Amino acid sequence: MSLDQNSPDTQPVVTVIAGEVRGTTTGGISAFLGIPYAAPPTGRAAFEPPAPVEPWTGVRDATSYGPTAPQVGYPAPIAAILDNVIELGDDYLNLNVWTPDPNADGLPVMVWIHGGAFARGSNRLPMYSGDTFARDGVVAVGINYRLGVPGFGSVDGAPENRGLLDQIAALTWVRENIAAFGGDPARVTIFGESAGAMSVASLLSSPLAEGLFQQAVMESGGGHIAADPADARRVTARIAEIAGVSADVDGLASLPVEALLSAQTQAALELTLNPDPAIWGRTVVDQGMGIMGVFPVLDGAVLPDVPVASIAAGAGRGVPLLAGWNADEFRFFLVPTGVAAMATPELARGMLLRSNMDTADLDARLAAGESAGDALCAALTAVAFALPTRAIAELRQDSATYLFEFDSPSPVADIRAGHAVEIPFVFDHLADAERLAGPEPDQRVADDMHGAWVRFAVTGDPGWPAGEIHRFA
């Protein structure tokens, strides 16, 4: 269900630490859009920790979405399925808030961290609108954070994991300001998909995020992703080489945004076509799987260790976790692009082996008569998504962990229950995701899934026993 934010009944004003903001109220839901939670990360500041927002005088307009982080669009086959709004502007470290009542007290809060392989995405996609959560009594927040090299590139002279520091700054803003929107800063659930889910795992394991949220949801993302700094520097060095600048803050900060994005895009293509560990580093090849070139880095501060290792050592203990995967994750990546159709058994094995992945599941599927493309999609789904999620649950025996599998197939491009297809069901925004979920998605599944997320935010229990896998189909 979508609520029209362009036909406001009223324009409520709320006071946050930096000043007053004016939103809109439609159908009983108040929306405050594009609120900055950190200063604009421009110039050298793009490679520094997030800085506090300068207070403003008067009432700041918060009736329309703010800018997005600098990025390029998805490749054509993916862009035909998944929306990606790009609106450049300096104040892109912003967030959106939807609330059923700014004058309420103690409402549960959900904070959405978007996906996009740490290089794309924003908080302004229609299917990410939090109006449906507000409709059901939850204050919903959607955040932006730095992407690509400014967010996650390992750069000489800059702190690591600036994108994660942005997320921590946004959660700090929520803790300090969400009561003004009716939310309870002690009842915060973070939830994210893909890179957003990997971010959730990172935050769950980070000592710098401790206490900023009480519950967590991971959709299609494990806790095994974190690059070795030396490997990450190889990627940065190649991007700088393409751009013709030094691989440090001075060099990269001197580039116009378009030039940095162009070099980043070329390096990502080179990595995909030739994922040689001798060029890019073992952890970049193994964990990026040819899809991600820049992602969180082991830095001893934000990420002391790979998230699963920190979780095994007790990080996030006591934080209820809802985590799951889609039944056909990798069909989203390999079917529309034609890779699945041209796959041979040799190519399929090679794609797994180049990232040090086990081929046992693939070989069993091939022996059973599956096509190489179908077998490759299924094997990668298991190795990259299902098994890492199960592994986190096994490490959290003393903390409530609820597992799920999404298996409501989309007819679009034969992606079935592919990567990202669950998002409009979680948000109950099926009408805003026809290109992804198809023209006749099952509203019953959306009711079930969205309802489970709301129950989890409200009670810490989505509605099935911890440790069991609930199937949404």
Q: Which residues are catalytic?
A: 194, 329, 419
**How many Cα atoms are found within 13 Å in the side-chain-facing hemisphere of 280?**
29
Query: What sign for the dihedral angle of Cα 201, 204, 209, 214?
Result: positive
User: Backbone dihedral region of 131: left (phi > 0), alpha (psi from -120 to 50 degrees) or beta?
Assistant: alpha
Q: Measured between alpha carbons, how far is 100 from 33 in angstroms, rounded to an integer?
A: 15
User: H or E element: which one contains 393?
Assistant: helix 387-395
Asked whether 221 and 196 are in contact (CB, 8 A), the reply is yes
Q: Measured between alpha carbons, how far is 197 from 175 in angstroms, rounded to an integer?
A: 21
Bridge partners of 356, per DSSP, are: none
Q: Measured between alpha carbons, how far is 374 from 73 in angstroms, rounded to an integer?
A: 27
The Cα diameter of the chain in Å comes to 69
Asked whether 81 and 436 are in contact (CB, 8 A), the reply is yes
* Residues contacting 78, CB < 8 A, separation 6+: 332, 333, 336, 337
Q: SS3 string of 63-116?
A: CCCCCCCCCCCCCHHHHCCCCCCCCCCCCCCEEEEEECCCCCCCEEEEEEECCC
Q: Tokens 């260790």 — which residue? A: 305
- By C-alpha distance, which of 452, 448, 446 is closest to 427? 446
Q: Measured between alpha carbons, how far is 357 from 78 in angstroms, rounded to an integer?
A: 25
